[in-house]
Structure 1
């Protein structure tokens, strides 16, 4: 039986009906997950195996049979470690059915099926007894239920239920404990992701919404590769604080908790951001430690293990405050069963009887619901704003009638400030419209921009006061975009609005171009590397069926990644491979191009990086990819505001850098679907 699901096409804006059959390959969902990254995490695997062997040995030393409960078994790796270490039996719980089926195949292939039972349930539904899923309670509890925020995957409720129902009192736990650390910092870079800064346009100041500066912001954690945030971009105001620990060998509570750490400010500045990460002690003595600390905390940063399934967290204080060196302060972390949040107080002003703990952050200004954190950073990028203002200044006239097509954009506001006769803006959502309305009102510009919550194809001359558009502008930015070329939705809008444009209308940007280059990734390649074996433990974790699906390249698709977080080296020159002329309507026929780029640097080519550049005018270009020249060694600097596209090659290619080999490419843009089909191959001379 086949069913169809309606999905909005991010490029064309159309509603596509996608066929979904009962035979849908969920292994592709596994392929897109972090399983490959975890299996390649040598540090994690070694530390887990060491902790498991030690726990099994402690139980055996007491003369007991070792019965293991592995919650969230995934591929079954930790269960196989336990049996290899001498466990008598292991109950491996996995709620995701396709993954449980894969784990069953993997366990059987490695000869562990007699000692490992895969249970396809949520752990809170598992029963113990003669007719239950488990014959007896376990005396060793093994879990990998953690995310970047430690508890975001429901670790606390799962542990709470396990201790009440599934494990013996005084059980061994691997990991034994987790400890959360935090550091208070001032950082213009990080703070730009949370609050809108004032903007200068032609000597006038566009002030941010007062409600935004008082808002606690988005409730979701900001998880990033903090190793890629240079210590030069922030000033530590506190030492590294130990906030709290959780002992997993004892009953765990998922109830609300708060923990405070008192410290003396080590420097003065604006308290804005809290950096946070955690450690896992795999044994009670704390001699086997798996840490999430960023690389710049290591004496030798290059020795830090890389992982993408666990990163570091950035938390934003609801309001920045000035602190002075030597001031006594208290940093408080609160958590419910799934989230953490932080607050700062002066130690001298605290009164336990009257000071209420802050509730979980929740956006009250709507701006944090309209703009993502990278989008805040983009809006706060002064150089980028100057480019757009310069481009607008060069095309606007006193009689200009402007129409903006982007989501939650400030371009229409800039056009009004630059003296356009009339400015309209199409907004994709009511919430976005309300945020821009509030900004206009806060800056006494109400009525300066007319906001229209309407689709481009529905717009008529009546909506424009019977006038025609002389300047159609966009950044372009759309909240539905995932891949770089999804912003070509602007072209579809421009085509739908063709009948409302003056014959001499200016389109800004006038064109866009797709760029590419072959790259060697420092670490990102691990997330798509084959998983025939597991680093740090001698088993074959993937059967052939699962391995084929984990070889994500079978789909032949690019995927979005913020490359500023994932360093890479350019092995070829960068090249403009396709151009999209916005001054013309969308073509009826596909656009195709082919070519090749010779390898000019030695290295291992893992794939191709792809990005868009927007040509606002003939001489002003804004890049959503590379933002500086490539160094002699091939190092690249990437925009932090947008994700770039990455196309992983089926197998890495060793480049000698002598130009005798090249990456050949073929691109086809399909106007009817909005897709860009691409193919790459390596050719040697």
Structure 2
């Protein structure tokens, strides 16, 4: 219930290139972290799961008032139903987290409540939260520091329960071992005729045609990479906020309505493997949208449908969003099979994996970015002799292949293996002193988290005497914004449904302060925000040592700052991933940002190549 979903965690790991090695079950672990400026790797010993807690963005779930009210109503209904039958209401809450659902059960009059939480910091927090709310509780809550499949009747619970309450769902519904959790509880911990909250769930699918989303999966460089569109790609789901895609522009519906794909009854044993078939009158689809609904009880449901399907009933969430599957050309038929396993879904009857190699080497965001690559722009940066030696600085780019068509000698210096297998020419021994060496970069480095980390290009080009390098400089710009919803992932909860969650706020706040830099990274094209001001901060080039600027936040309601680069290639040629006409950013890219919690602040922005972007916030 607490940590990032498997899907969301896989997404961030792929984008961030961050690894983690656990040393012991409790207390400490080493994290492998890349310096965003130098690209060098270092190992850091961290204690008490602080990084796991800080990364969880769990507050968004507790800010989801629609979810909280739906659970409260359904739990109250289940307790009333059981008591209406003349029976004691005995609740089992699996993965209790803050203890919120158990407190709802207690306030609703449950006779006995047993909650389990195996994550030690959250177990401790649940004890504090329930103690802080004891005046609202009608019955004692027993919180057990174990996994549900470790619970034993007669040891941890005196007898079986008859109301099962849990929230072990992720974006794909089943990715947090939901099926095994329910199946074990139903067999080992519950009475035969138990009630479940939620009671059922249904996964829906809708086929669409989307050249935009297809570009996250295949490369539009047919001369070299046509095979990527026939490749099944990554087996992991591509989760994203579908609500920020525009029907009729970013995609077209192929099937007119969402179709039920898989149904889950949480009071019965759930199949761990099954196949569903989707029928379509046409094969002109490229992707499948997937999302789910929970039936909490006879009168209440929770929907993860995107806004273009829910319209007036849409509720924004980040902890549960939607996902899509790219359909390879060879599977686009009038009948499409999707298989559900115990943890995920895959196309066809057997799980297939990437056979072209690029999907294993490149993130989906990078693939999309390469499809927007303006190859002629880079080929025309230098209009002089094609006899020059060319040095390409950067990673994961097909540009050297195109440069080789124009120049006789092209060398590549990157930070890792080239997924395009370009045969780099040897760099001439006097390259560093060659005044005619042509140096070109997008720039892009695989260890970068956002465009600001690609500023490391200037530290690498500085060693060459040639002045014939591109880009020449970069302007760091800042937007002061009002996020519509995204700020909730870092906002204090305070109270929800009448329950005080201050101990949880203290836990999250302390963990974030202890391990997280104030600057974080998000794919902001997926999130709505209003721009208040645009600020030019400073120009970065090979001569930059340290720069500093102050931003005074005066607009009421500003809750975030977004930082991005505008690259200058000389002669008026500039590039940026900010799209001013749409007031958003290019799809597939990540941006640097900070969240602000105070109404008026003075923000000090500093940059140097040793520490990257550094932010200090103080009361104005």
Is the structural similarity TM-score above 0.5?
Answer: yes
1:489 paired residue among 456, 462, 467: 456
What CA deviation, in whole Å up to 9, does each residue of 1:22-43 have, x standing for no partner? xx35456424313210111011
Per the alignment, residue 13 of structure 1 pairs with 39
- The answer for the alignment partner of 1:423 in structure 2 is 410
| Cα pair 2:472 2:570 within 8 Å, conserved | yes
CA change 1:64–1:390 in 2 (3 A) is farther
SS of the residue 1:596 aligns to: strand
1:141 aligned partner: 164
In the alignment, is the contact (CA less than 8 A) between 1:461 and 1:468 conserved in 2? no
Flag the 1:207–1:463 CA change in 2: closer, same or farther, 3 A. Answer: farther
Tell me which of 244, 248, 260 is aligned to 2:266.
Answer: 248
Match of 2:336 in 1: 331
CA distance in 1 between counterparts of 2:560 and 2:121 reads 28
Q: Distance between the aligned counterparts of 2:571 and 2:173, measured in 1?
A: 49
Report the counterpart of residue 55 of structure 1 in structure 2: 78
SS of equivalent residue, structure 1 residue 246: strand
SS of corresponding position for 1:231: coil
How far, CA to CA, are the matches of 1:65 and 1:515 in structure 2? 62
* Structure 1: distance between partners of 2:280 and 2:509: 50
Measured after TM superposition, the shift of residue 60 of structure 1 is: 1.1
The whole-number CA distance in structure 2 between the counterparts of 1:256 and 1:569 is 45
Q: Please, which runs of 5 or more residues in structure 1 have no aligned partner?
A: 199-205, 324-328, 344-356, 441-448, 453-459, 630-634, 654-662
Q: 1:490-540 CA distances to partner (integer Å, 9 max, x unpaired)?
A: 233224xx2xx3x43422111122110211111112112211111xx1101
Q: Is the 8 A contact 2:53 2:508 kept in 1?
A: no
* Aligned-residue offset at 1:469: 7.2
Alignment of 1:144-293 (within 5 A): 144-198=167-221, 207-232=223-248, 233-239=250-256, 240-253=258-271, 255-265=272-282, 270-283=284-297, 285=298, 287-293=299-305
Aligned mate of 1:305, from 307, 315, 324: 315
SS of the equivalent of 1:651 reads: coil
Q: Superposed, which structure 2 residues align to 1:360-375 within 5 Å?
A: 360-375=351-366
Residue 388 (structure 1) shift: 3.1
Q: In the superposition, relative to structure 1, how do residues 577 and 668 fare at CA in structure 2: closer, same or farther (>3 Å)?
A: same
Give, in whole Å, the separation in 2 of the partners of 1:676 and 1:58: 57
Counterpart in 1 of 2:141?
116
Q: In the alignment, what sits opposite 1:595?
A: 550
Any idea what the Cα deviations from partners look like across 1:36-60, whole Å, max 9, x if unmatched? 1011101111111111111111111
Structure 2 gaps of 5+ residues are 1-26
Does the Cα contact within 8 Å between 1:107 and 1:113 map onto a contact in 2?
A: no
Pair 1:127 & 2:94 matched:
no
Matched, 1:570 2:531: yes
Change (3 A) 1:387 1:86: farther
Q: 1:406-425: CA deviations, max 9, x gaps?
A: 221122122112x1120012
Equivalent in the alignment of 1:608:
561
In 2, Cα distance between equivalents of 1:25 and 1:88 = 35
- Give the alignment partner of residue 476 of structure 2, picking from 486, 490, 514: 514
For residues 274-673 of structure 1, what are the structure 2 equivalents within 5 Å?
A: 274-283=288-297, 285=298, 287-300=299-312, 303-319=313-329, 329-343=334-348, 357=349, 359-381=350-372, 384-391=374-381, 394=382, 397-417=385-405, 419-430=406-417, 433=418, 435-437=419-421, 449-450=423-424, 461-462=428-429, 470-495=437-462, 498=463, 501=464, 503-534=465-496, 537-543=497-503, 546=506, 549=509, 552=512, 557-572=518-533, 574-582=534-542, 584=543, 590-596=545-551, 599=554, 603-624=556-577, 626-629=578-581, 636-653=583-600, 664-672=602-610
- What does the per-residue CA deviation read over 1:307-331, in whole Å, with 9 as the maximum and x for residues that have no partner? 10000011111226777xxxxx323
CA distance in 1, matches of 2:71, 2:505: 26
Contact 1:528-1:551 at 8 Å conserved across structures = no
Q: Matched residues in 2 for 1:565 and 1:517: separation?
A: 17
- The aligned counterpart of 2:24 is none
Q: Give the 3-state SS of the residue equivalent to 1:207 in structure 2.
A: helix
For the residues of structure 1 that align with 2:162 and 2:389, how far apart are their CA atoms? 74
Whether the 8 Å CA contact 1:272–1:320 is kept in 2: the answer is: no
Q: 1:116 to 1:403 in 2, by over 3 A?
A: same
Deviation at residue 212 of structure 1 after TM alignment: 1.9
The TM-score with structure 1 as length reference comes to 0.80
Q: Is the 8 A contact 1:272 1:321 kept in 2?
A: no
Distance 1:260 1:110, change over 3 A: same
Give the structure 2 partner of residue 347 of structure 1.
Answer: none
* 1:335-381: CA deviation from partner (whole Å, max 9, x where unpaired): 111111234xxxxxxxxxxxxx2x22311211001111111111111
SS at match of 2:288: strand
Matching residue within 56, 63, 70 for 1:40 = 63
Q: Specify the alignment match of 1:104 in structure 2.
A: 127
CA gap 1:262/1:321 in 2 versus in 1, 3 angstroms: closer
Is the alpha carbon distance of 1:210 and 1:5 closer, same or farther for their aligned partners in structure 2, counting shifts above 3 Å? closer
Distance 1:425 1:27, change over 3 A: closer
Whole-angstrom distance in 1 between the partners of 2:608 and 2:553: 27
Q: Matches of 2:384 and 2:355 in 1, distance apart? A: 36
Pick closer, same or farther for the CA change 1:388–1:123 going to 2, 3 Å: farther
The alpha-carbon distance between structure 1 residues 362 and 316, as it changes in their structure 2 partners (threshold 3 A), is same
CA contact (8 A) 1:194 1:373 kept: yes
Contact 2:54 2:508 in 1 (8 A): no
Q: How many residues align?
A: 589
SS of the counterpart of 2:319? coil
Instruction: Give secondary structure in 2 for the equivalent of 1:504.
Output: coil
Change in 2 beyond 3 A, CA 1:591/1:315: same
TM-score (norm 2): 0.88
- Measure, in 2, the Cα distance between the counterparts of 1:618 and 1:145: 56
Match of 2:605, SS? Answer: strand
Q: Are 1:403 and 1:469, in contact at CA under 8 Å, matched by a contact in 2? A: no
Deviations along 1:165-212, one digit per CA (max 9) or x if unpaired, are 1112121001101101101111110101011113xxxxxxx5243442
Distance 2:384 2:482 in 1: 44
SS of structure 1 residue aligned to 2:328: strand
**Shift in Å at residue 676 of structure 1?**
2.0
SS at 2:396 equivalent: coil
